[in-house]
Each structure stands twice: as C-alpha cells, then as structure tokens.
Amino acid sequence: MRVEWQGDHRLLDASGEKQDFESELTRLGLDPATFLVEVRREPDVPDGRYGVRYNVYVSDLAHPDRETLKLDNGHCENWIVQFAKVRRR
C-alpha cells in the first residue's frame, strides 16, 4: 500500500516528491500505508522565482498519540529532509 495523499498533493506529482517520500519511509523502516499526508498551498505567497510554496502535514496513523508534523517547503527548504531528521530523533 501507499501513503494516503490529500489536499493539493498534485503539486508534488511533477517533482517526484511523492515517490521520494514513500522511498524515505521505506528506508527508515516505516510502512507507507500508515501515513496520511495533506498538502496545503500557501495562497498569499505568489509564485515567484522560487516556485510554489506549500505546507505539508504528515500524520502517522499507526501512532495516533503522536502529533501531526507540519513541514514547510519552498526556497531552500525540503520537507522530506525535515521529516527524516525528526524521525531519526
């Protein structure tokens, strides 16, 4: 099974971020089927030279006691790297 994607997740299709995230989950020994990811585009930030900015909310459905992670993406930010750092702690 794969991650459940919601919201503006189509923003991630062209960049391959969905596949990258699912690969990172597998690399970390986590089951992608237990994760819900919601993507929300930042409406008040215009598409500039740095591209579209959006926030990513990652919920671990296997552990409902854990908080949903809010990760940023945009210029010089990579939400997948942020997620991996948090999970390694």
Q: What is the pLDDT of residues 18-37, one digit of tens each?
A: 999 999 999 999 999 999 99
Residue reference for tokens 């459940």: 4
Residues of the chain with pLDDT under 70: 1, 44-51, 74-75
Whole-prediction pTM: 0.86
Q: Amino acid identity, residue 62?
A: A
By the 8 A CB rule, do 52 and 40 touch?
Answer: no
